[in-house]
Amino acid sequence: MEKLKMKSKDITRENIEIIGKLFPNAITETEDTNGNVSRAIDFELLKQELCDEIVEGSKERYQLTWPGKKEALILANTPTNKTLRPVKEDSLNWESTQNIFIEGDNLEALKLLQEAYLNKIKFIYIDPPYNTGNDFIYKDKFTIDKTKYAKKSGQMDQEGNRLFLITEYHGRYHSDWISMIYPRLKLARNLLSEDGVILISIDDNEIHNLRRVCDEIFGERNFVANLIWRKSKGSGNDSKYLMVETEYILLYAKNIENLKFKNQLVDIDDGKYKYKDEYYEERGGYNLEKLDRGSKGYVESLDFGIEAPDGTLVFPNNRREKYNDGWRWMWSKSKVEWGIKNGFIVVKKGKDNQWNVYCKNYAKVDNEGNPIVRTRLYRNHIGFEETILNIQANHEMKKLFAGALFSYPKPTNLLKYLIDMFYLDNEIILDFFAGSATTADAVMQLNAEDGGNRRYIMVQLPEACDEDSEAYKAGYKNIAEISKERIRRAGKKIKEETGADIDYGFRVFKVDSSNMKDIYYTPDKLNQSILDELESNIKEDRTGLDLLTQVMLEAGLELSLPIETKDICGREVHFVAGNSLAACFDENLDEDFIRQIAKHEPLKAVFRDSSFSSCPDRINLEEIFKGISPDTQIKVL
C-alpha cells in the first residue's frame, strides 16, 4: 500500500509530468549535490518544440544529437501547404469503403492527417528504408551535402579549411537517415491513441539509432520490447561474415500504463494437461502441482496434517508432524477441505515412496472451480516456432502477380501475428511506409477470418520503378501502383476463397499542392489579367470533391466518413456523415438555397467566399442560419 507523503503537493513535479506526457523528449535527468537523480525539463528542447525557428544552445548533457537535428525538428513542426486530392477512378467501392490509400510523401501525409486522426490510431506498423546503401530514396530538406556536414560536425572551419583528415562519410550517412525518420515518428506519435502502439521493422544498420530516436520521441519508459524476427532458416547470405537470419521489430507504446495485449490462447490439447478426469470431464485435462512450498515464509496456520489413503497424516515437506522448517501448504485448511470434497486434491506416493499432496490444475477451470480461458504471454522472438518467413512473402507476391514485382516484401503472416497481439477488432491500422501493401492484405485476411472490422490507412511514395525491373515491364511505373493493385488482387482472392462479407475497398487520395491560389504579388507585378484571376482564390482545376476533402481534414473529419452529394435548388451540395458537414462550392448562392441548406441543420456549413457578391449577402446568410439552425458553424473558403 502507498504511504502518505505527509507534505504539501509538489506542484513542480506534477507540472514536469504533464509536460513529459506532451513532450517526452523534453524530459531529462539531473543530479543534486547528494547524488540524487530526478526528472527535469530540458528547456532548450522545450523551446525548440514551441518555436518555429532554430533555438541555439550549447549546454552539454546526455542527449541524442546529430548534424541536422534542429532542422529535423523544424521540419516536423512546420505546417504544410499541401492537400489531399481524391482519385475516385483509382479507388474501389468509394461510396462504402472505410479504408484509405494515400499516394505521396508520407511526411506531408502525416501532417495532413494531424487534425482528423489526432489520438485516433491504435496500431502503427512501418517498414522504413533500412539504410543499406541502396534503399534510401527520401530526399527532404534535412539532407546535408558533405561540405555543410563537415562544417556542422566541426571538421571544417568557416573559411572552409578541413580540421580532420579522416572523412565522415558514415556519420553523414547515418545523419541523413535519422533526419528522415525523426520528424515522421514525431508526427506519428500525435496520431496514436493513449492505448496505441507503434511497431517498426529494422535491421542491424540503424537499430542502435532507431532505439535512441524512439526513446526521445516516445519516452524511454514507453519502450515495450525489441522483437526478434527470424526471417529465414539457413537460406541466403546477407552478410560477408555470418549468415543473418534475423531482423528486429521495435515496439513502443504511446503510454505504457494503458498498454494491453491480447495474450495467446493456450492449446489445452498440447500434452501439458496430460491427465484425464472421468468424473469431471467438463473441466478438461489437468496436470499436478505439489501443494507444499519452501522458502515462502512459515505460517503456522498453513502447517497442518492432510490425511493420506492409509490414514496417516501428511505435513508439508513429507513430514509426519507439525514443525517450523520453512515449509507450508499453499492452501488454507478450509480450502484443502473444499479441494478434497470437489476433486481438486490428490494424495499419492511419489518416486521416493513418500506421500505427497498435489493440487489439480485443470485446463478449463481455475482452482476455485470457475471457468477460464488460459492464455500465455507473447515472447520477444517471432518465427522460431511460427512459420513466418520472407520466402513466404515472395511466394505470395508471385501468386498474386505471376512474378516477383517487389523486393523484400514482408509476409502477411508476420503482420497478422503482430496485429493479433492487440485488441484491434474495430480499430484503424496505419502504415505510412506501405511498400507492397502487405499490411492492407493482412488486415483483410484477419477480418475475413474473425469477422473483425479493422480499417487501414496506407501511405506510399510513388517511387519510380527501375526500367529494367519486372514491375516496370509489367506496366507498373511506380511502387504506389503496385501497392494499389496488390490490394485489389488480394481482396479478390480472399473473397473467392472465403466468401467473407468484409470491406474490400479503399479510397485513394494523392498529396498535391493546395487548392488555394498563391495570391502574393508585389505591386509592380500587378496587372489587370492578374486581378481578373484573383476573382476567385481557388484554383480553376479543383473540383468540389477536392475542396470537400481539404475542408474535412481541417474540420477534423475522417476521410472514410460517408459522403452524399445532393442536388438542392440546382446546386451541388456535399453532406458528410449525415449532417456533420454540409458544403457547397457553387457560385451565386441565393437566399432560397441557403434556407434549404439551413433546414438540414448541419453541425458545420462551408461555402466559397466568392459565392456571395457583397457583405449584405454574407450577413443575410448568417441571419438565415440564426433563425433556422442557430447551432450551425458557418465557414467560408
- In this prediction, residues 98-116 reach a mean pLDDT of 95
Annotate 221-277 with DSSP letters as a single string. GGEEEEEEEE--SS----SSSS---EEEEEEEESSGGG--B-PEEP-TTSSSS-B--
Query: Is residue 526 predicted with pLDDT exceeding 50?
Result: no
C-alpha–C-alpha distance, residues 460 and 127, integer Å: 11
Structural domain of 20:
7-63
With vertex at residue 598, the alpha carbon angle to CA 594 and CA 604, rounded to the nearest 5 degrees, is: 105
**Are residues 354 and 387 both part of a single domain?**
no
pLDDT digits (tens, 9 = 90+) for 255-285: 999 999 987 777 777 678 889 888 898 999 9
The per-residue pLDDT for 39 is: 78
Q: Which three cell numbers stand for residue 143?
A: 539532407
The per-residue pLDDT for 138 is: 55
**Are residues 472 and 328 both part of a single domain?**
no
Task: Report which DSSP code applies to 319.
Answer: B
Query: Is 620 domain-assigned?
Result: yes
Helices (H), 101-231: 106-112, 146-152, 169-191, 207-218
Strand partners, 101: 458, 508
Residue pointed to by grid coordinates 548534424: 67
Residue pointed to by grid coordinates 449577402: 617
**Are residues 92 and 216 both part of a single domain?**
yes
**Are residues 194 and 52 both part of a single domain?**
no
- Give the residue with greater pLDDT, 514 vs 264: 514
**Are residues 567 and 586 both part of a single domain?**
yes
Task: Write down which residue in 513, 540, 555 finishes a domain.
Answer: 513
* 8 Å CB contact between 213 and 219: no
**H or E stretch covering 15:** helix 11-22
- In this prediction, residues 595-624 reach a mean pLDDT of 86
Residue pointed to by grid coordinates 513532450: 23
Query: Is 591 domain-assigned?
Result: yes
Q: Which three cell numbers stand for residue 483?
A: 501497392
Distance of CA 512 to the CA centre of its chain: 25
Region of residue 205 (left: phi > 0; alpha: psi -120 to 50; beta: else):
alpha
The per-residue pLDDT for 236 is: 57
Residue 415 CB coordination number (10 Å): 25
Q: Which three cell numbers stand for residue 60?
A: 552539454
Query: Is residue 7 predicted with pLDDT exceeding 50?
Result: no
Distances, alpha carbon 183 to alpha carbons 77, 211, 215, 507, in Å: 8, 15, 14, 26
Q: To 10 degrees, what angle do helices 615-628 and 591-599 make? A: 30
What's 164-179 look like in SS3? Answer: CCCCCHHHHHHHHHHH
Query: Is 252 domain-assigned?
Result: yes
The per-residue pLDDT for 156 is: 43
Query: Is residue 574 predicted with pLDDT exceeding 90?
Result: yes
* 8 Å CB contact between 404 and 470: yes
Query: Is residue 581 predicted with pLDDT exceeding 50?
Result: yes
Task: Write down which residue in 483, 513, 543 finishes a domain.
Answer: 513
Please report, to the nearest 10 degrees, the dihedral formed by the alpha carbons of residues 108, 109, 110, 116 taken in order. Answer: 130
Strand partners, 567: 572
Best mean pLDDT range from 16-25, 92-101, 319-328, 394-403: 92-101
> Of all residues in the chain, what percent are helix, strand and coil, respectively (each to 5)?
35, 20, 45
Query: Is 69 domain-assigned?
Result: no
**Are residues 142 and 35 both part of a single domain?**
no
C-alpha–C-alpha distance, residues 324 and 6, integer Å: 40
Query: Is 72 domain-assigned?
Result: no
Q: What is the mean pLDDT of the chain?
A: 85
Give the lowest-confidence range in 200-214, 343-357, 521-535, 563-577: 521-535
C-alpha–C-alpha distance, residues 453 and 511, integer Å: 27
* 8 Å CB contact between 571 and 592: no
Asked whether the CA dihedral 319, 320, 325, 327 is positive or negative, the reply is: positive
* 8 Å CB contact between 329 and 317: no
**H or E stretch covering 488:** helix 479-498
* Contact residues for 4 (Cβ-Cβ < 8 A; gap 6+): none
The per-residue pLDDT for 127 is: 96
Query: Is residue 535 predicted with pLDDT exceeding 70?
Result: no
Query: Is residue 519 predicted with pLDDT exceeding 60?
Result: no
The per-residue pLDDT for 61 is: 64
Closest CA to 254 of 415, 122, 427, 77: 122
**Are residues 197 and 320 both part of a single domain?**
no
**Are residues 240 and 330 both part of a single domain?**
no
From edge to edge, which strands make up the β-sheet containing 581-584? 563-568, 571-576, 581-584, 604-607, 633-636
pLDDT digits (tens, 9 = 90+) for 135-192: 555 555 444 455 554 444 443 444 444 433 333 445 677 888 999 999 999 999 999 9
Query: Is residue 539 predicted with pLDDT exceeding 50?
Result: yes
C-alpha–C-alpha distance, residues 190 and 182, integer Å: 13
Annotate 541-569 with DSSP letters as a single string. T--HHHHHHHHHHHHT--TTS-EEEEEET
Best mean pLDDT range from 34-38, 373-377, 597-601: 597-601
- Give the residue with greater pLDDT, 47 vs 559: 559
Q: Phi then psi for 429, rounded to 5 degrees?
A: -115, 125
Task: Write down which residue in 491, 513, 535 finishes a domain.
Answer: 513
Query: Is 157 domain-assigned?
Result: yes
Beta strand pairing call for 82-86 and 375-376: unpaired
Query: Is 138 domain-assigned?
Result: yes
**Are residues 146 and 243 both part of a single domain?**
yes
pLDDT digits (tens, 9 = 90+) for 58-93: 556 677 888 888 888 888 888 888 999 999 999 999
**H or E stretch covering 363:** none
Query: What residue ranges in 280-354 does DSSP mark as E strands?
Result: 286-290, 292-293, 306-307, 313-314, 328-329, 345-349
* Contact residues for 14 (Cβ-Cβ < 8 A; gap 6+): none
Q: Phi then psi for 360, rounded to 5 degrees?
A: -90, 125
The one-letter amino acid code at 504 reads: Y
For position 115, which CATH number holds? Answer: 3.40.50.150
With vertex at residue 200, the alpha carbon angle to CA 194 and CA 205, rounded to the nearest 5 degrees, is: 145
Query: Is residue 525 predicted with pLDDT exceeding 50?
Result: no
The per-residue pLDDT for 274 is: 87
- Give the residue with greater pLDDT, 397 vs 525: 397
**Are residues 130 and 224 both part of a single domain?**
yes
Query: Is 622 domain-assigned?
Result: yes
**Are residues 428 and 390 both part of a single domain?**
yes
Work out how many domains the chain is built from and give that number: 4
Strand partners, 314: 306
338 three-class SS: helix
C-alpha–C-alpha distance, residues 635 and 637, integer Å: 7
Percent of the chain with pLDDT over 90: 54
pLDDT digits (tens, 9 = 90+) for 347-402: 998 888 889 999 999 999 999 999 988 888 888 999 876 678 888 888 898 889 88
**Are residues 501 and 548 both part of a single domain?**
no
pLDDT digits (tens, 9 = 90+) for 413-429: 999 999 999 999 899 99
pLDDT digits (tens, 9 = 90+) for 431-469: 999 999 999 999 999 999 999 999 999 999 999 998 888
C-alpha–C-alpha distance, residues 495 and 503, integer Å: 10
Percent of the chain with pLDDT over 70: 84
The per-residue pLDDT for 357 is: 96
For the chain, give the number of residues. Answer: 637
